[in-house]
A and B are shown apart, each in its own frame.
Chain A
Amino acid sequence: MNRPQREAAVRRILEEVPVPVPPDLHAEAVRRGGRLLRRRLLAHRLMWLLLCAAAVAFTVWAVRAQPWAEPPSQTTVPLTGW
């Protein structure tokens, strides 16, 4: 038996017994797929919420602390009466 014949024989063996499809397969798949989508949506919303909260917190901190402003020098004496 050469290769194409062997492959055809195996295909026949694999195909020969029909498998009955249970009727509620579609409903269950839709139920679980919908649950998956809802969970994904919730996770996305939570992520955005967290991101927004982090951005707001950073802005408030930055405005209050002004880390870019140079702090007044504490080592040299202020130059007066010049």
Chain B
Amino acid sequence: MRDRQASRDARRDREFEAFVAGAAGRLLHAATLLTGEAPDDGPRARRLLVPALAHTYARWHRLRGEDPYECARQYLATRFAHEAWRHYGAAGRARPHPRSPLAELAPQERLILVLRMFEGVAEEQTAALLGLPVERVHAVCDRATATVLHPARRAAPGAMGTRVAPS
């Protein structure tokens, strides 16, 4: 009994290692896009991804044919949605890095755009996952697409005006 458990755990560890080797890059990329951080330095993306992977590891025996990648992605998305909701208004904490391609988007726009375009999740599934109507997902995705393709050249207020020329 104990031997069987040990061999099951060993197999789980092997499978999980292969899963992380294959999927961590893409998941980390998605997490970095979500948090709007610079591609080579994403502490918040990492803080988002590690619990998602840990959750997938803990659920490994109970996945029963379910895709572990989907499990991790779902956890990642819901956790990001909760965090964005909790820190709503705390603008200074979560300001996107200007080198991120999604720097101009709001957290919800980033989430929907990443799920729809980067991960290729269907509109209905995205809506079900986030608890939103399908039309809303469609509208937000369209708006986010337009913003990414044609970023408004908004000068940051105060960035130019407050600078005083040295006399």
Contacts and interface: CB of A to CB of B under 8 A. Distances in A.
Q: Do A and B bind each other?
A: yes
Contacts of A20: 39-40
A14 interface: yes
A33 B54 contact: yes
Majority-rule SS of A interface residues:
helix
B29 interface: yes
Contacts of A25: 20, 24, 28, 46, 49-50, 53
Contacts of A60: none
A49 interface: no
Interface of A: 1, 6-7, 9-11, 13-22, 25-26, 28-37, 40
Contact of A10 (B25, B55, B113): B113
Interface residues of B, number: 34
Contact of B54 (A11, A13, A14, A29): A29
Nearest to A30: B57
B118 A15 contact: yes
Contacts of B101: 13-14, 16-17
B149 interface: yes
Nearest to B61: A37
B117 A19 contact: no
A9 B114 CA distance: 14
A-B pairs with lowest CB-CB distance, top 10 = A33-B57, A29-B53, A32-B54, A33-B54, A36-B58, A17-B39, A19-B29, A26-B20, A33-B58, A14-B118
A14 B114 contact: yes
A6 B28 CA distance: 24
A22 B46 contact: yes
Contacts of A19: 25, 28-29, 32, 39-40, 42
A16 B114 CA distance: 14
B54 A36 contact: yes
A11 B117 contact: yes
A14 B55 contact: no
A8 B34 CA distance: 19
